[in-house]
Amino acid sequence: MYSALSFLIFFMFSSRVESLNDPSVIIIGAGAAGISAATRLHQNGIRNVTVLEAGSRIGGRIHSVKVGESYIDLGAQWCHGEKNNVVYDMVKNLNLLKSDKISPRLYHSKLKLIDKKFDEKFNEVFEDNYFKNLIDNEGNLGDLLIERFKKTIPTVWQSEHERSLAKDCVEMYQKLVLCNDGAFSWFNLSAKNDYEISDGDQELGWNGLGFKTILDILMQNSSISGNIILNKEVSQIIWNGPNLHSEVVVNCVDGTTYTADHVITTVSLGVLKDRHISLFKPHLSTEKVLALETLGIDAVSSIFLYYPNKWWNESFEGVSFVWSEDEIEKTAEAFPIGPTKGGRSWITAIVYILPVLRSPNILAAWYVGEFVPEIESSSNDTIIKGITYTLNLFLGQDIPRPEKIIRHKWYSDPHFRGSYSFETVESRNLGTSQAAILSQPISREDGKLAVLFAGEATNPIRYATVHGAIETGFREADRIVNLYNN
């Protein structure tokens, strides 16, 4: 009797120790945050890790595609900065990053190529107004920048001609902001935010190897690729309830079920906004729902244009499109193909067209704002016609059609629902960092850590970036590792 009891106690004790030493973890999403969480767990001896990825590839918003000899990036393209940047730190000694800084020239719909001096001044004013002294300003970024720009015009530009040109540039100014912040409207962006720029070169490219290189580097010292299951879309995370034993239950769209001690979700803010009610059982707290509803995620995208015969030469720096005030409102009439709003055609949403370094036959057209969802649903033929029309108009030349276009529809893709997150006026007005609230893990009634939240939008100071996403993957993996080390 005594020996049977002690065997039972030993068995209970040893199985408890085993489960503590070998916790199981499910990671939802194989983007930058998911891959970094998996590798960090693995490197710390937690091997019972399963990554469930809805898509048919890893990387998420890192999406490098090989065209010819080089890769182009349909998602994240540049390592932004060198200080406090985990991406930069991982590769700085490998001679992989090269400055990709391109300054596209301003072209005007009536005046064509704008004088370089004006161009340079405009960039200076933009950077001064946009990047400096936002800290003390309440309200929305649009109102603040319009006011600042209006005040700047008479002090910087003397002639009537230049001042009227500067007024036309407000539209371009707005598009540059939207490109950076990813919102559909600059009136929705909070003027004050917690984002911390990592100092140094903001446009460090991957020299034709693609941003996916960082995933290869993350995974090189751990064998986690065998733990990733692709085409596995999670439909529900049951994390608390009377019938649960010790594990979180994860149901997938294909009817399969997985269980684990802990789940790290890395799905985008867009997916959380869309699906949190059906995704979490029980539902998330009111505080968390408020955070995910008030933080913003819209979209900005690039379309890659392939020309078998290059029509530009080596000195081509790209084209930024400045519409004259009277012409912009008549674009729907002048170019009636594809979506329009009021008098405007979708082509007014194109910010610039840039050469792609190391891809000699490719140009990238960036577009922003409220037209993005409709541009995504427009046919390739409409896009090709619109881009060709716009280039012809601004360059005053007969530019050929690209042979094909390559794009990813980040806003309409149900696995993303946007490009990157931002702080809205509404989230800011709540007083505390909503990204920090989003990042808080949730525990079951018995106190066990059940669901942890990673992904770029959960980074209070480096959101919207790959380095920010990786930090959150490490953060949540460390949270689990520390639980078992203490």
Calculate the dihedral angle through the C-alpha atoms of 451, 32, 369, 277, rounding to the nearest 10 degrees.
-20
Report, in Å, the least distance between residue 454 CB and ligand FAD. 7
Nearer to ligand FAD, 109 or 266 (CB): 266
77 binds ligand FAD (CB under 6 A): yes
Give the footprint of ligand FAD on residues 416-435 (CB under 6 A): 416, 419-420
d(CA 349, CA 368): 6
Q: Measure the CA angle with vertex 248, ends 238 and 420; round to 5°.
A: 70
196 binds ligand FAD (CB under 6 A): no
52 binds ligand FAD (CB under 6 A): yes
Give the footprint of ligand FAD on residues 284-343 (CB under 6 A): 301
Total residue length of the chain: 486
Residue-by-residue DSSP string for 342-396: TTEEGGGGEEEEEE-TT-TTEEEEEE-STTHHHHHHS-HHHHHHHHHHHHHHHHT
- Interacting stretch for ligand FAD, rule CB under 6 A, among 49-57, 98-106, 144-152, 352-360? 49-57
213 binds ligand FAD (CB under 6 A): no
- Give me the amino acid identity at 66: K
Which residue from 28, 481, 483, 445 is spatially nearest to 239, judged by alpha carbons?
445
Applying CB under 6 A, which of residues 143, 162, 194, 233 lies at the interface with ligand FAD?
233
Give the footprint of ligand FAD on residues 436-475 (CB under 6 A): 455-456, 464-467, 469
53 binds ligand FAD (CB under 6 A): yes
- Interacting stretch for ligand FAD, rule CB under 6 A, among 9-17, 283-291, 337-345, 411-419? 411-419
Structure tokens at 126: 């933009």
Report, in Å, the least distance between residue 76 CB and ligand FAD. 3
Tell me whether the omega of the peptide bond preceding residue 282 falls within 30 degrees of 0, making it cis. yes
61 binds ligand FAD (CB under 6 A): yes
d(CA 175, CA 367): 8
The answer to whether the beta carbons of residues 25 and 464 sit under 8 Å apart is no
* Number of chain residues interacting with ligand FAD (CB under 6 A): 38
Applying CB under 6 A, which of residues 24, 266, 348, 434 lies at the interface with ligand FAD?
266
184 binds ligand FAD (CB under 6 A): no
| E-strand stretches of 148-290 | 204-205, 228-229, 234-238, 248-252, 257-260, 262-265, 280-281
- Interacting stretch for ligand FAD, rule CB under 6 A, among 1-9, 72-80, 348-356, 373-381? 72-80
Helix axes 116-131, 160-181, angle to 10 degrees: 50
234 binds ligand FAD (CB under 6 A): yes
Report, in Å, the least distance between residue 238 CB and ligand FAD. 14
The answer to whether the beta carbons of residues 446 and 323 sit under 8 Å apart is no
142 binds ligand FAD (CB under 6 A): no
Contact set with ligand FAD (CB under 6 A)? 28-34, 52-55, 60-62, 75-78, 80, 233-234, 266-268, 271, 301, 410, 415-416, 419-420, 455-456, 464-467, 469
